[in-house]
Amino acid sequence: MKFFDSLIADTDKLISSLPQKSFYKGNAWNDVGHNQVIMRRDAAFELDGVGFNLVTSQDITDEIVVVGDDLSEIGDNRRFARISFVQIDDDADDQKKYNLIKKIDYVKYHTFPDGYMMRSTSRSHKESVRVSAKAISDGADFQKIGSLMIEKYKEVPAVKGVKIIFITCPDADYSETERIAEKNYAIAETLNHVMNSVVFDCETCNLRAICDEVEGMKELHFGKSDN
């Protein structure tokens, strides 16, 4: 699974010069098991940006990386990104890998950290978070939130390792995080068409650029056409 590896490299480059802290997976924050509404009056602050997964067969060690301020250090609303590198078992065939990508994306809609209300849309990868003042006073931080997310990802048996990057640094290039998110979506959409046996006329297909650019995509496409 190499389709998203260039975006992993782009993310590593994006954060390489920014202040960051790295944590091992630790005690997970409580999951309330359902959508939780946090009223604005009860919120400490809001984070607004993108949140998405990059699936790979590269070796990934469970890790939480905070680029910028942790939750207890944030005093006002700000830009934000959450990017998860998710390693899957490379023994699966192409159809199973495609199904895994969908299952892994499903996780973010079924993770409910107490006092950490996530709102997201799959099409744009937009993700906003409202954090309650009570959660901050109770000790919520990105290590605990990230540890919960890692546990949820690893409920999918083929997931081997997860690295979650939370970006809150004001100096981060958020236009670049949005570009990576958009490219990630375009690759996922191309995979969706290929794996659902849509027959393309390559000369007129508006997804041709992705097939031409992403390693292995064209081979996958032609392989599906031959079946």
| pLDDT tens by residue, 95-133 | 777 788 888 988 988 999 999 999 987 667 899 999 999
% of the chain at pLDDT higher than 70? 82
Nearest Cα neighbor of 1 from 53, 46, 49 is 53
Q: Where are the domains of the chain?
A: 5-173
Asked if 67 and 166 touch (Cβ cutoff 8 Å), the reply is yes
Per-residue pLDDT, 122: 66
Q: Please report which confidence band the pLDDT of residue 220 belongs to, taking 50, 70 and 90 as the band edges.
A: low
Mean pLDDT, rounded, of the chain: 87
Per-residue pLDDT, 54: 96
Per-residue pLDDT, 98: 77
- The model carries a pTM of 0.87
Overall average pLDDT of the 181-203 stretch:
73
Please give the single-letter amino acid code of residue 26: G
Class of domain 5-173 as given by CATH: alpha beta
Helix H or strand E encompassing 65:
strand 63-67
Overall average pLDDT of the 36-42 stretch:
95
CA 31/CA 51 separation, integer angstroms: 19
Q: How far apart are the first and last CA of the chain?
A: 20
Which residues face 49 on adjacent strands?
A: 80, 127
Classify strands 159-167 and 63-67 as parallel, antiparallel or unpaired.
parallel
Q: Please report which confidence band the pLDDT of residue 67 belongs to, taking 50, 70 and 90 as the band edges.
A: very high
Q: Output the six-digit token pair for 48.
A: 């607004």
